[in-house]
Amino acid sequence: MTSFKRIGITVKTGLDHKDKAVSSVIEILKGLDVKVCVDSERIGDLGCAEGLDKMNEIKDIDLLIVIGGDGTILRAVREMKDFTIPILSVNWGTVGFLSEIDIEEAAEMIPRLLQGEGVTEERGILHVSALRDGVEIFNGSALNEAVIAQGTIARLVNLKTTVNNESLTNYHADGLIISTPTGSTAYSLAAGGPVVYPTLKAMILTPINPYSFSQKPIVIPGESEVEVEVSTKENKFQDTEVVLTIDGQIYIPLQRNDRVKAHINSETVKFLRRKQDTFFATLRRKLKWGERATP
């Protein structure tokens, strides 16, 4: 018996061989005592979904199975209406750093995980808002990071940053990454930020190519309130050449004097994972952590 009775499935938009990927997971679930609901926008038109309930929003289910890669997981988290629903991620043809199982092992692992052999891991979500003249122009969540950076023209931007209303610094840089521990192995790591254990409640502030050598990445408590003001001076270039990016998927043009606020949400994202895997094993396997470079 499984404690998950109503299972939703979503998939990467434009996934190669999408019908094959989804049908293979549906066939596995048909052998279990569960009700299957499919993402109406991305799966509803597939032949394998005929006769199944359609899921217009990610809610009213016991488990969400995400088929694709990390980008699909990031999108699914942003669309969730209920963060108590755990996610089981099935990797299809990508590195899949956040994914739990590969499609080749789905037939063995999905029944085992649904029947109680897995563990639930909780990870923090970044809550982000942007304000212009006191009016909110964006409000949303990020599993990996929010990035405030120059747009199409390569010019340094000034980002006046405070933590809990106390001045931190005025970054003069290509931009600033505000990352969760989950996102510490993504863009923040590429920009020189530290790897942070994913279940910690923390934020990582990583400047992108700062002009000052003293402005290094910093890890702060997740309950802190970070505020960043776009304080770039007027020049012949448009003010909108600064952009707020959420998980690399949502883009909000910013203007001079706009403010971005961020903190780690009180709610967490739940991932269903196998017991024997650890974060360190994932680092070694998928990032080749600690391996000696070959000539």
What's the pLDDT band for 97 if we cut at 50, 70, 90? Answer: confident
pLDDT at position 264 is 96
In the chain, which residue ranges form alpha helices assigned H by DSSP? 18-30, 70-79, 106-112, 187-190, 279-286
Q: Rounded to whole angstroms, what are the CA distances from 64 to 60, 193, 226, 292?
A: 10, 31, 31, 38
What's the pLDDT band for 272 if we cut at 50, 70, 90? Answer: very high
Q: Is 90 exceeded by the pLDDT of residue 286?
A: no
Q: What average pLDDT does the segment 182-199 reach?
A: 94
pLDDT at position 93 is 66
SS3 call for 65: strand
Q: Is 60 exceeded by the pLDDT of residue 284?
A: yes
Over residues 246-263, the pLDDT tens digits come to: 999 999 999 999 999 999
Structure-model confidence comparison of residues 170 and 279, the more confident one: 170
The number of C-alpha atoms within 13 Å of 158 and in the hemisphere containing its C-beta is 10
Give the rounded percent of residues in the chain with a pLDDT score beyond 70.
93
Instruction: Say whether 125-266 and 6-123+268-286 share the same fold.
Output: no
For 266, list phi and psi in degrees, rounded to 5. Answer: -70, -25
Over residues 6-23, the pLDDT tens digits come to: 999 999 888 888 888 899
45 is an active site residue: no
Q: Return the CATH number of the domain spanning residue range 125-266.
A: 2.60.200.30
In the chain, where the domains are located: 6-123+268-286, 125-266
Provide DSSP, 81-141: S-TTS-EEEEE-SS--TT-SEEGGGHHHHHHHIIIIIEEEEEEEEEEEEEEETTEEEEEEE
Q: Choose the catalytic residue: 70, 82, 133, 277.
A: 70
What's the pLDDT band for 217 if we cut at 50, 70, 90? Answer: very high
Top-level class of domain 6-123+268-286: alpha beta
Over residues 134-179, the pLDDT tens digits come to: 999 999 999 999 999 987 767 889 999 999 999 999 999 999 999 9
pLDDT at position 45 is 78
Over residues 34-70, the pLDDT tens digits come to: 999 999 888 877 888 888 888 877 888 999 999 998 9
